[in-house]
Amino acid sequence: MNKEDEHLSVKFYVKAEVNKKASEKAGRVIHDEVELVSIGQRGDRNTVFVARAHDVSVSHGMTYAERFAEEYKAFQDGREYVASGSALEIAPFISVARAADLNNAGVHTIEQLAALSPKAAKNLGMGVQDLVYQAKEWLESASDVGKVSEMQAEIDRLRKMVEGDKETPENDQYQSYSNEDLRNMIADATGVAPSKNTGRKKLIEKVEEMNRKAA
């Protein structure tokens, strides 16, 4: 689902409709199976728009089946569409019963809960607006944790490089060569460039090994 449509609850289904022309011609009632789509605001069960799946959405210039391609593909496969995101069940501030209620209302992820409008939250009952606030805080906290983890990984990588450089031999005959020069020498000779995390001592050992083999 496109980001602009994340606040929508979308469901494709099949309904039998009377084919008037075929019925008149056959002299009996003839039904056709028609693929339909219902579109509503998450948390608002009273306002639902229904259209044929292959009618063109004027605002988007494509059919509803194309606009909601992931949901339509799930419908064709005979499975329930599962939105990407963090399931409500993992949120420490949402009970199992409340998660089930929200799922029935078309809210399946913490991201969807956080995106509910005040009106939609009110329609879902008491306490839901508080859950919306908590969902937003949880996502911000999770994002901060992810950023810290990324920063820590980069710090660890740089620390390994520095520690590798500290292992440089006292009699370094390659003082005039940078680590990048050594990596390029190895890459030219072997066709494989060492990782940028490889310390200077290891690089020098590899170059000396190459020199011994060439002698």
State pLDDT tens for residues 7-23: 788 888 999 888 888 88
Q: What is the DSSP letter of 127?
A: T
Number of residues that make up the chain: 215
Type of residue found at 37: V
Distance from chain centroid for Cα 177: 44
What stretches in the chain show pLDDT beneath 70? Answer: 1-4, 43-46, 80-83, 144-172, 174, 215
Q: What does the pLDDT read at residue 9? A: 80
Q: What does the pLDDT read at residue 35? A: 92
C-beta separation of 39 from 48 below 8 A:
yes
State pLDDT tens for residues 87-129: 888 888 999 889 888 888 888 888 888 888 888 888 888 999 9
Long-range contacts of 208-214 (CB under 8 A, 24+ apart): 210/185, 210/186
Q: What does the pLDDT read at residue 131? A: 94
CATH of domain 85-155: 1.10.150
Q: Which residue is listed with tokens 């460039």?
A: 193
Backbone angles phi, psi at 86, to 5 degrees: -95, 120
Instruction: For the chain, give every domain's residue range.
Output: 1-81, 85-155, 167-214
Q: What does the pLDDT read at residue 156? A: 62
Helices (H), the chain: 20-26, 64-67, 69-76, 96-104, 110-114, 118-123, 128-166, 179-190, 200-214
Q: How far apart are CA 112 and CA 164, in angstroms?
A: 46
Q: What is the DSSP letter of 83?
A: -
Q: What is the DSSP letter of 25?
A: H
Coil, helix or strand at residue 142: helix
Type of residue found at 74: A
Q: Write out the E strands in 19-103.
A: 31-41, 48-52, 56-57, 62-63
CA–CA–CA angle 97, 101, 103 (5° rounding): 115
Instruction: Compute, in degrees rounded to 10, the torsion defined by CA atoms 70, 76, 80, 84.
Output: -10
